[in-house]
Amino acid sequence: MTWKLLASPSQNSSADACDSCSISGATCILRYVTATGGTALFVHPTAIVESGVVAGNGTAIWHHSHVRNGAVVGSGCTLGKNVFVDEDVVIGERVKIQNNVSVYRGVQLGDDVFIGPSAVFTNDLRPRATGGAWRLGSTRVHRGASVGANATIVCGIEIGECAMVGAGAVVTTSVLPHQLVTGNPARHHGWVCACGEVVSRAEEAPADPRCASCRPDADSGPEPGAHDQRIPMAKVVLGADAEDAVLSVLRSGHLASGAWVAELERSFARAHEAAHAVAVSSGTAALIAALRAHRIGPGDEVITAPLTFVATLNSIIEVGATARFADITEDLTLDPAALTALISARTKALMPVHLYGLPAAMREISDVARQHGLVIIEDAAQAHGARVAGEHVGSSGTAAFSLYATKNITCGEGGLVTTDDDEIAARLRLLRNHGMRERYDYSIPGSNYRLTDMQAAVAVTQLRKLPGILAARNRNAALLSAGLAGLPGLVLPKGPADRLHAWHQYTVQVTPDAPIDRAQLSKCLAAASIDSTVYYPRLVHDYPCFHDHPQVVHDATPRALCAVREVLSLPVHPALTADDIGRIVSCVREAF
Ligand SMILES: Cc1ncc(COP(=O)(O)O)c(C=O)c1O
């Protein structure tokens, strides 16, 4: 329940003293009333709470504290002695702020946050007493995080959900969810459970950040009926950090493209070692914008893979170009050796698809592109964080990523283009915003491919979790491969050693040498409440709408034609438990 200050101290009488005050023996000099008429906020007589403050039920504000106009303090909070809360600061529920802490403008504290005594938040990176403009840097401390005594938090960073900042630390960069940092400057020191127990000292985030006592009892076995639970192909898991981030956008009133989109672009470019990342409204928009940025249009041919989602083909058609198809290799990605035969004077671009998260043979494809002066636009919709020879996909050339709901990281709908070319990046920024340099100054015909700050806020929180997501998918894939090895006629997914798979899908091939066919295997899995999906049941251009399409050339791709009859994807997402994987493995083995 939210409480609102209705009267200034001078207008109150002792008759308005609230329950909490009388319990504590102090005298309440402010009156807070809810719509239902209750009172239960405690404000010590020496504290100052300016009018316009919104405070929650059960909150206590102790000696000499000062809460400024416009601040929002949730219910059940404790503001110790000499705590300063600046204008417009938002503090969540059950937050505990110890003595002598100043929470300046731009700081947001999520629910259940603990701020130790004398911790310091800065709010300008280069403060001066006089002259220079004061540039407010925002700081977010997410739900359940703790900041130790005397720690200093430099502005413009995020302290992730349940993270722990050691006493006296000077925190200069963002802290990941559940991460423990200490020292000056603060450095990684391990990972902590929500209860505060250290669960790991490793660099890599643990798959499960809970300590042994906070995990469901390992000895108690599966819950009754657990095996009847369906195992889905994908599961969207968004943390409280995503909720906090979206809430902050909603509260800011700035919903369109703004600071969160800029932050997403910065952090995505950094995470993929790319010079630029330009956020757009979908992976399809990313492909279209990338083609347009490279001035590919009518009369031009683009060679791509025939085993892909239809967005790859639709983007080529959308810009007016013609699609051609090269065959795939055993790893189901574009065969570099099949490209040369299709290249003519009309060919302008190659569009390899990093299918299921496995990067295509980019070094060999780049050689072909270089020899023939072609542009490469990578369809990396399924491959965030994948690498070739140690280098991130999208770190050179131009690549399109998707943030659709089932992707490895998501914000429902969204996309990004990465590029190492300043001019292409500038064109992408124009194209996505109606070609506008300034408002109503149109420099090229463009469109609306913009992403909103609400979506970007979710994507930023997801991106921080990408290393953990990739590690979990990789571990699940390894467990599936170990469990399914040796079955006759079942081809397991694998890529060359120098290509790091993002494991968007774990896709097996049920060949004619198997004792059952793909449909039978899928049926057995469905009977055991395990989802499986055929990505993709036909060649992308083998649909009536493309059969006589003037922008589609039906090149022969026999290996891809064979693959569409055999591929079957099994669940590999990070929310799978070891028990789930055991169920998948047993079911497939029994079916064989
Ligand atoms: C290979 C591939 N390319 C492009 C896209 C298009 O992305 P979006 O759905 O975000 O438009 C997808 C999405 O499913 C995809 O899998």
Distance CA 165, CA 161 (A): 12
Sheet with 347-351, side-by-side order of all strands = 276-280, 415-419, 398-402, 375-379, 347-351, 301-304, 322-325
Q: What contacts 314, CB < 8 A, 6 or more positions away? A: 284
All structural domains of the chain with their residue ranges: 3-200, 240-463, 467-591
Distance CA 136, CA 152 (A): 16
Reported as a single tens digit per residue, the pLDDT across 205-263 is 888 898 887 876 544 444 444 555 899 999 998 988 999 999 999 999 999 999 999 99
DSSP conformation class of 63: T
Instruction: Look up residue 257 and give its amino acid.
Output: S
CA of 424 to the centre of ligand 1 (A): 21
The verdict on the CB of residue 281 being under 6 Å from ligand 1 is no
Nearest to 409 by CA among 455, 363, 343: 455
The verdict on the CB of residue 505 being under 6 Å from ligand 1 is no
The verdict on the CB of residue 382 being under 6 Å from ligand 1 is yes
pLDDT of residue 19: 41
Contact 75, 93 (CB under 8 A): yes
- Assess whether pLDDT exceeds 80 at residue 37: no
The verdict on the CB of residue 379 being under 6 Å from ligand 1 is yes
Residue 460 token pair: 């930023």
Reported as a single tens digit per residue, the pLDDT across 156-202 is 889 999 999 999 999 999 999 999 999 999 999 999 999 999 999 88
**Residue 477 in 3-state DSSP?**
helix
CATH T-level assignment (fold) for domain 3-200: UDP N-Acetylglucosamine Acyltransferase; domain 1 (2.160.10)
Reported as a single tens digit per residue, the pLDDT across 144-166 is 999 999 999 998 889 999 999 99
The verdict on the CB of residue 282 being under 6 Å from ligand 1 is yes
Nearest to 456 by CA among 298, 245, 301: 245
CA dihedral 418→420→426→428, nearest 10 degrees, is: -30
261 φ, ψ to 5°?
Answer: -65, -45
- Going by alpha carbons, the residue nearest to atom 7 of ligand 1 is 283
Sheet with 387-388, side-by-side order of all strands = 391-392, 387-388, 499-500
The verdict on the CB of residue 360 being under 6 Å from ligand 1 is no
Which of 19-23, 171-175, 295-299 is predicted with the least confidence, judged by mean pLDDT?
19-23
| C-beta neighbour count of 84 within 10 angstroms | 18
The verdict on the CB of residue 284 being under 6 Å from ligand 1 is yes
CA of 554 to the centre of ligand 1 (A): 22
305 φ, ψ to 5°?
Answer: -95, 145
- Going by alpha carbons, the residue nearest to atom 8 of ligand 1 is 283
- Assess whether pLDDT exceeds 60 at residue 97: yes
Atom number, ligand 1, closest to the C-alpha of residue 404: 10
- pLDDT higher for 39 or 273? 273
The verdict on the CB of residue 415 being under 6 Å from ligand 1 is yes
108-136 burial, b for 16+ CB within 10 Å, e for fewer? Answer: bbbbbbbbbbbbbbbbbeeeeeeeeeeee
Model confidence at 33, in pLDDT bands (50, 70, 90)?
Answer: very low
**Residue 222 in 3-state DSSP?**
coil
CA of 383 to the centre of ligand 1 (A): 11
pLDDT of residue 336: 98
Contact 173, 156 (CB under 8 A): no
Residue 286 token pair: 């990313």
Nearest to 138 by CA among 4, 258, 265, 279: 258
Residue of 288, 384, 404, 535 to test ligand 1 pocket, by largest number of atoms within 8 Å of CB:
404
Token match 């992976």: residue?
Answer: 283
The verdict on the CB of residue 502 being under 6 Å from ligand 1 is no
CATH 1.10.3720.10 fits 240-463, yes or no: no
Asked whether the bond before 185 is cis by omega within 30 degrees of 0, the reply is yes
Residue 24 token pair: 């504590």
Distance CA 490, CA 516 (A): 10
Contact 264, 270 (CB under 8 A): no
Token match 């083995």: residue?
Answer: 589
Contact 208, 191 (CB under 8 A): no
- Assess whether pLDDT exceeds 50 at residue 474: yes
107 φ, ψ to 5°?
Answer: -95, 135
Instruction: Give me the CATH code for the 467-591 domain, please.
Output: 3.90.1150.10
Residue ranges with strand state E in 206-326:
276-280, 301-304, 322-325
pLDDT of residue 227: 54
Residue 246 token pair: 């979206």
Q: How far is CA 376 from CA 63, 222, 278, 384, 397, in A?
A: 65, 49, 17, 17, 7
The verdict on the CB of residue 108 being under 6 Å from ligand 1 is no
Residue ranges with strand state E in 276-383:
276-280, 301-304, 322-325, 347-351, 375-379
Reported as a single tens digit per residue, the pLDDT across 369-417 is 999 999 999 999 999 999 999 999 999 999 999 999 999 999 999 999 9
Q: How far is CA 264 from CA 40, 317, 460, in A?
A: 41, 29, 5
Distance CA 335, CA 425 (A): 29
| C-beta neighbour count of 408 within 10 angstroms | 25
Exposed, middle or buried: residue 329 (CB in 10 Å: 0-12, 13-18, 19+)? middle
Distance CA 537, CA 209 (A): 38
- pLDDT higher for 197 or 356? 356
Distance CA 567, CA 506 (A): 10
pLDDT of residue 105: 87
pLDDT of residue 32: 42
**Residue 275 in 3-state DSSP?**
coil
Q: How far is CA 124 from CA 118, 154, 183, 266, 548, in A?
A: 18, 8, 21, 20, 62
CA of 286 to the centre of ligand 1 (A): 9
Mode of pairing for the β-strands spanning 276-280 and 415-419: antiparallel
Reported as a single tens digit per residue, the pLDDT across 199-217 is 998 888 888 898 887 876 5
CA of 476 to the centre of ligand 1 (A): 23
Q: What contacts 384, CB < 8 A, 6 or more positions away? A: 272, 401, 407, 408, 409, 466, 502
The verdict on the CB of residue 572 being under 6 Å from ligand 1 is no
Atom number, ligand 1, closest to the C-alpha of residue 414: 10
The verdict on the CB of residue 381 being under 6 Å from ligand 1 is yes
- Going by alpha carbons, the residue nearest to atom 10 of ligand 1 is 283
Residue 519 token pair: 């449909």
Contact 513, 567 (CB under 8 A): no
The verdict on the CB of residue 353 being under 6 Å from ligand 1 is yes
pTM score, two decimals? 0.66
The verdict on the CB of residue 283 being under 6 Å from ligand 1 is yes
Distance CA 268, CA 415 (A): 11
- Assess whether pLDDT exceeds 50 at residue 30: no
